[in-house]
Amino acid sequence: MKRSLIALAALLFCSTAFAQQDYVPRYDAFVGYSYFSSPKLNLVERGVNGEFGINITRWLALGADYSYFTGHSDIRASDLTPNLQSLLAPLLPILGPNPSVPFDSTTYTFTAGPQFNFRQLKWVTLFVRPAIGGIHEVATLKPNTPLLTLVVRQIAPGGKQSDLQLFYGAGGGFDLNASKHVGVRVGVDVVHTKLFNNLLENGRTSVRVSVGPTFRFGKNIVEK
């Protein structure tokens, strides 16, 4: 009897877990906590990410997202362009071999494009997407010595720099389908961009991780 009950429970679980999703909404919205890391600058930023999508078919969606982050790190002499490094070379005996300037960062990202959804499992929706969009960053430099203050005034008058550039990459993740209209999303995007060409030598690769609730509404999309 016990074995029969276990077999029946396993059968019910499999029929539920591996059944395809019967409700695919026209619209999908997400808002949640987001973490943005740029290891090259040792920069970690935290903020919020919002997304909105329209399901064109059961597997293809078109959408857009917007993120806002703040954080802080240090810019080191080795991060600068060769030109700026050569200008700093005569000051290195006073500043030290690899001087750094603390800075605060505020970053905005925006993306639009397709997302490909896999709905073979009832309890989870997997997705992949290209990550192509724009990134706007404002860096406020905070030199902590009089000499560094003079240097910053020469290379960044006002102590603040901002830039807007394109980024490209790829992303993916999953939605845990808690109910018909509400789920929990975990998304990861890896992108590359080149900000502050006048200051920094190379581009950077950044990782964004977002977690939060997703809300589904609208007419059910039925396969034709």
Percent above pLDDT 90 for the chain: 70
Q: pTM for this structure?
A: 0.85
223 lies in a domain?
no
224 lies in a domain?
no
17 lies in a domain?
no
Residue 130, pLDDT score: 96
d(CA 56, CA 221) in angstroms, rounded, equals: 8
CATH code of the domain containing 179: 2.40.160.20
Lowest mean pLDDT among 25-34, 44-53, 154-163: 154-163
Residue 168, pLDDT score: 96
pLDDT in tens, 139-177: 999 998 888 888 888 888 888 999 999 999 999 999 999
Residue 104, pLDDT score: 97
Q: Which two tokens stand for residue 44?
A: 């970690």
Q: pLDDT category, 8, cuts 50, 70, 90?
A: very low
List the beta strands (DSSP E) in 19-158. 27-38, 43-55, 60-76, 100-118, 124-141
Q: What one-letter code names the amino acid at 172?
A: G
14 lies in a domain?
no
Q: Indicate the SS3 state at residue 198.
A: coil
Contacts of 5 (CB under 8 A, 6+ apart): none
Q: Does 1 have pLDDT greater than 80?
A: no
Residue 128's φ and ψ, nearest 5 degrees, are -135, 155
Residue 30's φ and ψ, nearest 5 degrees, are -140, 140
Taking a C-beta distance cutoff of 8 angstroms, is the pair 41, 72 a contact? no
Q: Which two tokens stand for residue 106?
A: 């505020």
11 lies in a domain?
no
10 lies in a domain?
no
| Location of structure tokens 């500043």 | 95
Domain that holds residue 152: 23-217
48 lies in a domain?
yes
Q: Where are the alpha helices (DSSP H) in the chain?
A: 2-17, 82-88, 92-95, 146-155
According to DSSP, the β-strands at 182-193 and 160-176 are antiparallel
Q: pLDDT category, 224, cuts 50, 70, 90?
A: low
Residue 12 vs residue 199, higher pLDDT: 199
Mean pLDDT over 34-59 rounds to 96
pLDDT in tens, 171-206: 999 999 999 999 999 999 999 999 999 899 889 999
Percent above pLDDT 70 for the chain: 91
81 lies in a domain?
yes
Domain tally, the chain: 1
Give ∠ CA 135-171-184 in degrees, rounded to 5. Answer: 105
d(CA 117, CA 122) in angstroms, rounded, equals: 13
